[in-house]
Structure 1
Amino acid sequence: MFPLSRKQAFARVVLRFLHLTLYALGLTSRRHSRPVQWLQFGCWLCWYTAIWALTVHRATRTEDCDLDCVLRYVLLVCETGSHAIIVTNTFLQQDDSDSLECSDPVVGVTVVGLLVPILGAQYLVCSNLDKFSERVISYYWKTLPSFLGLQFHIIAFIAQVMYVNLRVRLARRQLQALARELACSWPQSKLQAMYLDHQTARLVDLKRRYNELYHLYSRINERYGGSLLIIFIVFFAGFVCNAYWLFIDLRTTPSRLYPILQNLGFIVNVALQMSAACWHCQQSYNLGREIGCLISKLVKPLGSRRYNHLVSEFSLQTLHQRFVVTAKDFFSLNLHLLSSMFAAVVTYLVILIQFMFAERSANAYSG
């Protein structure tokens, strides 16, 4: 085993930090005793019970709740409720397979590139809390753990997909090397039984590796499918609401820079994370298609019957076992989903703006 380089050690430290943060937020399980796990789950349960009780108490005492107030209550329930569901699911699963031991520098740099905007936006908000209203500050502190937990969870998902994609690229390179070797001229030595058995053994190994990669994607779907469905719904709602608040701030008080930067920071972070998730999942699908196209180059008319039968089986395997990442089979994560979500954001943003003008017209008429 060779020692890790500096870049690999840096990637290992970044991913270890990500894993520990997920454990602190209750989004991953580690091999601790059952009482410790129960204690952690009980703390989160008490935290959310207190938040929801306080929210219901304030909502019943609030006489006039405008559209802005309603949106904040809806987002608070969505973010805290989704985080509570994922924490509960993680506690019930007791699965430690999500511990990422990858040391690839590309994965580490990608995780850092996704973490830095999150931490920068949180620092900007925390350093200027005195410039916000009491309602906004209360909403911020109540949703901060859930907001960070959902974002860190999807970053861990992106790291997992990138790690599996690296293994798929390695298998693709080995398949390309085998295809180039078979495309060369065929001297008589390559028609010997020993050489044909060697090529058959390599093909069997690649077929087995493809099956292992397919099961890795299946485990990702099983581990993150439900949480991805919840996170994308919450992120969509948050994206629409923050885009609405950004429009209001730019229209009414464009001189107030900090609320604009707060909403803009959330929009940029969510758009970056959803784009990265969809792009890497699209890469998984494309890599699987490329492997399927390469199999046609392995056909050897002068080969043995067993070899050609393996090539046919491998081709059928790539057709039925696609590298597709889904959210509990509700939708597949790809670039088409990303474009559809951004189009839907514009639609719901226009609806909220129409509600805003209708509310102001009603207030002006009643006044």
Structure 2
Amino acid sequence: MLYALQPYLKYFAVLGLVPWTERSFQQMLQKIYTTAIILFNIGVAFYIVVYSPPEGDLLVSLLVSCIVFISQIVTMTVIELQVMCQYDRYYEFCLQLKCLRRQFQCELLQQVQRLPWTRYIKYFLLGALNIASVVPGVYVILHYDYIGYFWYSLAAVIINRFQCLLLLLYAELLGFHVELLGLRLKDVHNCRQLGVHSVLDVKCEQMCSLDYLLSLKRAYMELYRLFGQYNGLYGWSIVCIFVVMFLDSMINIYWALLVLAKIYNFVFIYMTFSTFVPLLILLFTFCRCGEYCKRQHMLIGSHVRGLACTSQRQLEPSSQAYTAVLAEFAMQVEQDALIISAEGFMDIDYSLLMSIFTAMVTYLIVLMQFGSL
């Protein structure tokens, strides 16, 4: 499924976010191109911060603006380096996802369709929103002669946001396959509860077999491996993206409050709102994807435990091996959770979102107190 999207995703190579091709020579050229992007942005950041910082602003605003600017450059650098050093692992991730799809079709006898078109529209709208959110900032700068760090961080902002979109798409694909596995386990559970009453019920008999259970167990193992590959490929990118999105949205909310307090011109409200609103939407969407995977994993665990209870009530001698495999499967589901994790620092779910909102309120109060001194 991810291979099918490659003709479209490869254009993100312009930003250095995906490999353009599997050919080694062209990958080397792309690495040189990505290195040039990194060095250029770091050089601009060093010159602006050290030799030509913006003037004529509140001290607290200058400080937090500089912090956000540096964090955006650092995040962009981490993203580019992590992608650039793992081209082969990226294609391995794509191939593993393709093999998992074939496993669903061949072993589990389940037709795996493409993602619903509504989900593609969602990501298209998120991309359009990220592009459109830059327009108010450009308008304010061109008409009110205010530059700040906007132009110098624009490339880093675009790279960070579109990397977040790609990570959301990959997480959506993982969650889609977790959902498919959960539906298949639900069907097996229903068949075991109803029982095979007829010789003609061949499909139900096959789904209740030990071989089919082993196929389900292998599919879960492959899914767990895919989640591990995803977390390994993009763990540090996720950490940095969440940090910079937290900082950027919080600081722009702070500036919006200063505008409402009439410390800055009211026109800057367009710039602040067009920054923190898309960031909060991306934060919510990312945490929602992680929460969806977590809940689907919990459903898989409930189906496996239900299968174990149903199997224990059956008295056939052949059910002993089935029950033993189910017990092992249940232990595997309990220990190997299908979660999106950022290098062990945090799990991506709704609890993280609430922690972010709580921290935002706390630091906004601190900033407002410093700003009033």
CA contact (8 A) 2:290 2:349 kept: yes
Identical aligned residues as a percent = 19
Q: 1:323 corresponds to which letter in structure 2?
A: L
TM-score, scaled to structure 2: 0.83
2:82 aligned with 1:67, yes or no?
Answer: no
- Tell me how far 1:94 sits from its aligned partner: 2.5
Residues 146/175 of structure 1: CA separation in 2 closer, same or farther (3 Å cut): same
TM-score, scaled to structure 1: 0.84
Question: Which residue of structure 2 lines up, in the alignment, with residue 235 of structure 1?
Answer: 245
2:26 aligned with 1:26, yes or no?
Answer: no
Question: Which residue of structure 1 lines up, in the alignment, with residue 364 of structure 2?
Answer: 349
CA distance in 1, matches of 2:37, 2:61: 28
Q: Secondary structure at the match of 1:352?
A: helix
Matches within 5 A, 1:351-366: 351-358=366-373
Question: Which residue of structure 2 lines up, in the alignment, with residue 296 of structure 1?
Answer: 305
CA contact (8 A) 1:18 1:152 kept: no
CA distance in 1, matches of 2:266, 2:53: 31
Question: Which blocks of at least 5 consecutive residues in structure 2 are unaligned?
Answer: 99-113
Matches within 5 A, 1:147-186: 147-185=157-195
- Tell me how far 1:271 sits from its aligned partner: 0.6
Question: Which residue of structure 1 lines up, in the alignment, with residue 344 of structure 2?
Answer: 329
Matches within 5 A, 1:275-294: 275-294=284-303
Provide, for residues 21-59 of structure 1, a one-character-per-residue CA deviation record: whole Å limited to 9, x for no partner: 2x1111222335244124213321331243033214435
CA distance in 1, matches of 2:339, 2:66: 35
Matches within 5 A, 1:37-186: 37-59=30-52, 66-95=59-88, 96-97=90-91, 103-136=115-148, 139-185=149-195
Residues 153/202 of structure 1: CA separation in 2 closer, same or farther (3 Å cut): same
- Structure 1 window deviating more from structure 2 (205-214 vs 30-39): it is 30-39
Residues 238/49 of structure 1: CA separation in 2 closer, same or farther (3 Å cut): closer
CA distance in 1, matches of 2:9, 2:59: 38
2:276 aligned with 1:267, yes or no?
Answer: yes
Question: Which residue of structure 2 lines up, in the alignment, with residue 36 of structure 1?
Answer: 29
- Tell me how far 1:253 sits from its aligned partner: 6.0
CA distance in 1, matches of 2:56, 2:261: 26
- Tell me how far 1:354 sits from its aligned partner: 0.7
Provide, for residues 93-133 of structure 1, a one-character-per-residue CA deviation record: whole Å limited to 9, x for no partner: 22333669965424312212311221221123334432333
CA contact (8 A) 1:281 1:334 kept: yes
Residues 183/223 of structure 1: CA separation in 2 closer, same or farther (3 Å cut): same
Q: 2:16 corresponds to which letter in structure 1?
A: G
CA distance in 2, matches of 1:24, 1:197: 47
Question: Which residue of structure 1 lines up, in the alignment, with residue 334 of structure 2?
Answer: 319
- Tell me how far 1:16 sits from its aligned partner: 5.1
Q: Secondary structure at the match of 2:345?
A: coil
Q: Secondary structure at the match of 1:28?
A: coil
Residues 278/307 of structure 1: CA separation in 2 closer, same or farther (3 Å cut): same
CA contact (8 A) 1:107 1:159 kept: no
CA distance in 2, matches of 1:208, 1:103: 23
Residues 42/162 of structure 1: CA separation in 2 closer, same or farther (3 Å cut): closer
Residues 179/113 of structure 1: CA separation in 2 closer, same or farther (3 Å cut): same
- Structure 1 window deviating more from structure 2 (237-246 vs 181-190): it is 181-190
Residues 35/202 of structure 1: CA separation in 2 closer, same or farther (3 Å cut): closer
CA distance in 2, matches of 1:255, 1:39: 43
2:215 aligned with 1:205, yes or no?
Answer: yes
CA contact (8 A) 1:107 1:163 kept: no
Q: Secondary structure at the match of 1:252?
A: coil
Q: Secondary structure at the match of 1:29?
A: coil
Provide, for residues 203-226 of structure 1, a one-character-per-residue CA deviation record: whole Å limited to 9, x for no partner: 111111111111111111111111
- Tell me how far 1:89 sits from its aligned partner: 2.2
Question: Which residue of structure 1 lines up, in the alignment, with residue 261 of structure 2?
Answer: 251
Residues 256/60 of structure 1: CA separation in 2 closer, same or farther (3 Å cut): closer
CA contact (8 A) 1:150 1:231 kept: yes
Residues 146/297 of structure 1: CA separation in 2 closer, same or farther (3 Å cut): same
CA distance in 2, matches of 1:219, 1:316: 21
Q: Secondary structure at the match of 2:269?
A: helix
Question: Which residue of structure 2 lines up, in the alignment, with residue 4 of structure 1?
Answer: none
CA contact (8 A) 1:246 1:263 kept: yes
- Number of residues paired by the alignment? 342
- Tell me how far 1:17 sits from its aligned partner: 4.4
CA contact (8 A) 2:130 2:278 kept: yes
Residues 128/169 of structure 1: CA separation in 2 closer, same or farther (3 Å cut): same
Q: Secondary structure at the match of 1:135?
A: coil
Provide, for residues 267-318 of structure 1, a one-character-per-residue CA deviation record: whole Å limited to 9, x for no partner: 1111111111111101101111111111133232234121111111111111
CA-based RMSD of the aligned residues comes to 2.9
Residues 79/307 of structure 1: CA separation in 2 closer, same or farther (3 Å cut): same
Q: 1:302 corresponds to which letter in structure 2?
A: L
CA distance in 2, matches of 1:346, 1:356: 15
